[in-house]
Amino acid sequence: MRPDLPSPTPPAGRPDTPRTYSVRTYGCQMNVHDSERLTGLLEQAGYVAAADDDGADVVVLNTCAVRENADNKLYGNLGHLAPVKAGRPGMQIAVGGCLAQKDRGEITRRAPWVDVVFGTHNIGSLPVLLERARVQQEAQVEILESLEVFPSTLPTRRESAYSAWVSISVGCNNTCTFCIVPSLRGKEKDRRPGDILAEVEALVAEGVREVTLLGQNVNSYGAEYADRLAFGKLLRSCGDIEGLERVRFTSPHPKDFTDDVIAAMAETPNVMPQLHMPLQSGSDRVLKAMRRSYRQQRYLAIIDRVRSAMPEAAITTDIIVGFPGETEDDFAETLHVVRQARFAGAFTFQYSPRPGTPAAALEEQVPREVVQERYERLVALADDVAWSENKAVVGRTVELMVAQGEGRKDVRTHRLSGRARDNRLVHFTPVDRDGRPVDVRPGDMVEVEVTYAAPHHLVSDAPVRSVRPTGAREEAAVLLGMPTVRA
């Protein structure tokens, strides 16, 4: 517990028990990363995780502002919490994240039972604001216009012991017309490479085997100190970290995706052959209206170069349907790119106007029923393509990292789950060639042969070929009586 942080006053009537917390996370990986910091901060201040969310002394809502119904979701949740709080004196509610950064004091005006509102630039202030609200019996609203400290310097409590998010930058210098992130998370701020690599080394020393480098636009990493090749160099430096088995990153941006990054991916063994690169639209006219600063041809050319450097790479994307002014011809261009790019998966979204973004003010909003109909056609095509891409993996031997949570046993099939190097989800049966159960744990690396493909996951019902327990070196894999054929 940090001596300089006020220790939270124990709950009424329970003087000897620490106050409990629950952090509810909405939105993107950046929020997941921030929530790991919020839980780390609260635990460092002496709070403990509540056994059940509804019973927590402190409820923290880490909000998202990307989609229109985000507001409805927040005020709906706060409405549900009001009677809970009324029935439990001393309970506190705190609201953080992008919607807090946007709505500020409006939140306590609409929901006066909220105790604390903090922004995306000062998540470190939560424990102090909670105590101040308690002592002064007054709601605390503290929103900063620029970053106080890099969230990565704050204490953390990670969801997984083997995988970790490592933020390399916060904020974004782009101005996509549908996006509110730059106005809520500010201009891009880059961490120094040394700080990032030191954090990764510390994580590996704690047993982490996989890191995901995180930024709104990882490809422009280094812009702040004028090094356009910084991201490619960072990937290569991760390759020198002993014990770091897997490196992933999100989100790249096609306009800044340069060949040095493709080369770094292909030439650095622990950088995974997997790329999640948002397309948003396949139409040049719509990409221009979105202010995405690339066109269809450039996007497909990057995909081709990635594939020629890493033929086994799995590529996924984000696509928005129904952007204002989108015609049937524009939409046909999106379908064309989905066929050409052969995505292993696509996160598809129906456009919804976000107040405060330029696109929300555009005249030609596409009627809902048209957006819905196009959305269904896109999902059907994207699923078809993903399924045929998955079918091409059947018969291949892949190495999985058995992930926490995802690694739990399926009671019906007794299968465990893990992620392949290309981030595909694989459900496998933990038995050896004689049908005996194999002891597999989260974080272990197992080699299995893919025997079946579904649209969004793969299955291996063949005997496990090898197991490499967490912490064991590559060459220590326990072969289970079957020759290993590496993918």
Binding site for ligand SF4 (CB under 6 A): 172, 174, 176, 179, 181-182, 216-217, 253
Please, which residue, 130 or 179, has the CB nearer to ligand SF4? Answer: 179
Rounded to whole angstroms, how far apart are CA atoms 340 and 281? 13
Q: Which residues contact 301 (CB under 8 A, 6 or more apart)?
A: none
Angle at 103 between CA 48 and CA 145, to 5 degrees: 85
Q: Residue 254 Cβ, how far from ligand SF4 at the closest point, in Å?
A: 10
DSSP of 232-251? HHHHHHHTTSTT--EEEEE-
Q: Which is nearer to ligand SF4, 155 or 182 (CB)?
A: 182
Shortest reach from residue 274's CB to ligand SF4, in Å: 19
- CB of 23 or CB of 98, closer to ligand SF4: 98
Nearer to ligand SF4, 92 or 219 (CB): 219
Residues 6+ apart with CB under 8 A from 66: 27, 28, 98, 179, 180, 181, 354
Cα–Cα dist 129/274, whole Å = 41
| Alpha carbon of residue 411 to chain centroid | 27
Structure tokens at 438: 């194999």
CB of 179 vs ligand SF4, minimal distance in Å: 3
Euclidean distance between CA atoms 295 and 293, whole angstroms: 7
Distance in Å, CB of 67 to ligand SF4, minimum = 13
418: helix, coil or strand? strand
The candidate with the shortest Cα–Cα distance to 293, out of 346, 257, 337, is 257
In whole angstroms, what is the distance from residue 272 CA to residue 269 CA?
A: 8
Cα of 403 vs its chain's centroid, Å: 15
CB of 178 to ligand SF4, least distance (A): 7
Nearer to ligand SF4, 59 or 179 (CB): 179
Write down the least CB distance from residue 470 to ligand SF4, Å.
34
* Three-state secondary-structure class, residue 54: helix
Which token pair is 478?
């326990």
Shortest Å, Cβ 72 to ligand SF4: 21
Distance CA 168, CA 223 (A): 12
Q: What is the smallest separation between the CB atom of 456 and ligand SF4, expressed in angstroms?
A: 24
Nearest approach, Cβ of 229 to ligand SF4 (angstroms)?
20
Q: Which residues, at least 6 apart from 371, have a Cβ–Cβ distance to it below 8 Å?
A: 321, 322, 350, 351
342 Cβ partners below 8 Å, 6+ apart?
Answer: 315, 385, 389
Contact 62, 34 (CB under 8 A): yes
- Tell me whether residue 190 or residue 399 sits nearer to ligand SF4 (CB atom): 190
- Quick one: 196 or 218, whose CB is closer to ligand SF4? 218
Nearer to ligand SF4, 70 or 203 (CB): 70
Cβ-based nearer residue to ligand SF4, 172 or 310: 172
